[in-house]
Structure 1
Amino acid sequence: MLVAFQGSSIDGEAYTDVVDSARHAPGWLDSAVSAWSTYGLVVFAVLMLVGWWRARRVGAEAAVTALAVPVVVVAAYGIDSLLKSAVREIRPCRSLGVTTLEACPAPGDWSFPSNHATIAAAAAIALFFVSRRLGAAAALAALAMAVSRVWVGAHYPHDVVAGMAVGALLALGAMALLKRWPEPLARRLTATRLRPLLVS
């Protein structure tokens, strides 16, 4: 059995500084950050839906690219989860025993890398291949998500940095690979029952 990793030696002091700042911040700010940390991923789902709806009006190739975004995000989440199981880093709220805005996850819910940061970064990078505006909006939202996860006490800073790197690199590689053959893929899919998803 693997021994759980203690990440406090990397940036535990920075983590406690952020958590302490959150504890002394105005209540409205903490409430807003906590809400974003908990429900913010819904925004990325909405952006993906908007991207697909717009792409569908452009053509089948654009729609295929847009439909690939949620697939890439799910794949990034899966790989991130495997990394979590391999590293087994104890949550900082548990190993440092600090009071946090968000309830500390149960033992065995590992910290590194951050799932939220991975999902957000993967969605942002993948959406850039669909629309620069949507990608830019998602990138800002992803940064906000990463910061919020440290603010509420769920992750060390290095957890969210690693999560964003994992999500961004996986999405960049997958979407760049898809861009090599969107036309034949679009032709195949439009000949199936998926046609309504590709053309308006």
Structure 2
Amino acid sequence: MAGLATSGSNPDVSLLYDINGLADDAPGWFDRIMEFIGEYGLLLGMVLLVLWCWWTMRRRAATLDDAASSLAAIVWAPLAAGIAVLINIPIRGFVERPRPFVDHDGLEVLIDGKNDFSFVSDHATLAMAMGVGLFVANRKIGIAGIALAVLEGFCRVYMGVHYPTDVIGGFALGTAVALLLSPVAMALLTPVAKAMGGSARAGWLVWARGSLGVAEPESDSGSGAEPGSGLSGGDSERDLAA
């Protein structure tokens, strides 16, 4: 299936030239910015969105069950991205589509060293899987993640390293993995997150109990005293009587 959509007469190639032509007309400093954003910047932005989602939701969770399901959904976002990229490896090997600059002249290629196959785009796949995964966890943050993924796809075409259909295929693959495998992932990750939430050492990763006024678990002695007070219930009563 090598040479998929390499004819200059098809809309895929026409759109490629239209978008990449913007790089030819733009000043050099702007192209350097787009190169950094398309290769590294937007993926870094996705990581920051995941951290923001985690920090926000751990403080809002009212119960351990809510906190555990929220953390499971957040963790699933980067895991979905990794799984989607792994699934893309055999897809690329089967389709064997060359990079657009191999078959088409006159493209402004902003980054060197892209000698692997083009369909589908790893960057678009990874970004959209994380964006959709975040949408499952939190609608508002997820919309921001999906917007970043769309911008990532535009940058890959702008840089001259992917056809538009490479990006669309990446969006479809990332979305499918994030949504279709989500029920299985939640079933596996939620019990782990709940166990972490009940742990004295790892509980802070799951929820911020103190900020919500939720009582900490009682000590092993079963006393009613607050943790760290060093007083049992009986000691407190004797002190009050005195």
**TM score, norm. by length of structure 1:** 0.85
Counterpart selection for 1:63 from 63, 67, 71: 71
CA contact (8 A) 1:122 1:164 kept: yes
One-letter amino acid of the structure 2 residue matched with residue 118 of structure 1: T
| Separation in 2, partners of 1:81, 1:49 | 27
Distance 1:187 1:33 in 2: 41
Q: CA deviation at 1:180?
A: 5.8
Residue 128 in structure 1 maps to residue 126 in structure 2: no
Deviations 1:145-198 (A, max 9, x none): 111100110100100011011101111112244456775454345467754532
**Match runs of 1:3-42 below 5 Å:** 4-9=2-7, 10=10, 11-39=12-40, 40-42=42-44
Structure 1 residues 184, 35: CA separation in 2 closer, same or farther (over 3 Å shift)? closer
Partner Cα separation in structure 2 for residue 86 and residue 20 of structure 1: 30
Structure 2 partner of 1:166 = 173
> Aligned partner of 1:7: which letter?
A
Aligned-CA RMSD value: 2.5
The structure with the larger Rg is: 2
The one-letter amino acid paired with 1:4 is A
Amino acid at match of 1:134: I
* 2:126 aligned with 1:119: yes
Q: Among all aligned residue pairs of Structure 1 and Structure 2, give the percentage whose two residues are the same amino acid.
A: 29
Is the deviation greater in 4-13 or in 36-45?
4-13
Residue of 60, 78, 82 corresponding to 1:74: 82
Aligned mate of 1:46, from 45, 48, 52: 48
Flag the 1:35–1:157 CA change in 2: closer, same or farther, 3 A.
same
Letter in 2 for 1:55: M
- Counterpart CA distance in 2 for 1:71 and 1:196 is 21
Do 1:104 and 1:154's aligned partners in 2 also have CA atoms closer than 8 Å? no
Question: How far apart are residue 199 of structure 1 and its match?
Answer: 3.2
Change (3 A) 1:38 1:186: closer
Native 8 Å contact 2:127 2:174 kept in 1: yes
Residue in 2 aligned with 1:139? Answer: 146
Secondary structure of the residue that 1:8 maps to in structure 2? coil
- Assess if the C-alpha contact under 8 Å between 2:85 and 2:126 holds in 1: yes
Which stretch shows the higher mean deviation, 181-190 or 128-137? 181-190
Secondary structure of the residue aligned to 2:137 is coil
Residue in 1 aligned with 2:103? 95
Query: Is residue 157 from structure 1 mapped to residue 159 from structure 2 by the alignment?
Result: no
Q: 1:37 deviation in Å?
A: 0.6
Letter in 2 for 1:91: R
Q: 1:161 & 1:106 partners in 2: Cα distance?
A: 19
Judging changes above 3 Å, is the alpha-carbon distance between structure 1 residues 178 and 24 closer, same or farther for their aligned structure 2 residues? same
Cα distance in 2, alignment partners of residues 182 and 73 from structure 1: 16
Q: CA deviation at 1:139?
A: 1.2
Q: TM-score, normalised by structure 2?
A: 0.71
Higher helix fraction (1 or 2): 1
- The 1-side partners of 2:23 and 2:58 are apart by 43
Report the counterpart of residue 85 of structure 1 in structure 2: 93
Residue correspondences, number: 197
The CA deviation at 1:132 is: 1.4
1:67 to partner: Cα distance: 1.6
Q: Which amino acid aligns with 1:20?
A: G
